[in-house]
Amino acid sequence: VHYTPSNMEEVEEDAIRFWSDEHHKNVRCEGVVEHNGVKQLVIKWEYTDDTPNENLRGTTREVLQYIPEFGRGEWVAQTMEDAKQMAIDFCKGVS
């Protein structure tokens, strides 16, 4: 029911955007791994020196980020058919 990237570059950009905040620095994608038979992105970052949890300050962490099926990326409905497709996509996404 939300934005669905249209290619791997958009998947990486979206993952980096998701994990970027004032306490994560140098957020980056370090490739793709297979985990339990599923390909996933490796996203890494370092915690800043002002991270509220003092034990995390200056440490490096990583997560495995799910790679969704590619969709249309960001798009705007221009016609009634586009609006219909958006409604169908929404319906599939919430079911």
The 3-state DSSP class for residue 93 equals helix
pLDDT of amino acid 1: 53
The 3-state DSSP class for residue 80 equals helix
Tell me how far apart the alpha carbons of residues 66 and 75 are, in angstroms, rounded to a whole number: 22
Question: Mean pLDDT in runs of 10 for the chain (95 residues)?
Answer: 82 94 97 94 97 97 91 84 86 78
Specify whether the CB–CB gap between 71 and 93 falls below 8 A.
no
pLDDT of amino acid 22: 97
Of the candidates 71, 73, 72, 16, the residue with the CA atom closest to the CA atom of residue 41: 16
First to last CA, the chain: 10
pLDDT of amino acid 4: 78
pLDDT of amino acid 43: 98
pLDDT of amino acid 58: 96
pLDDT of amino acid 64: 96
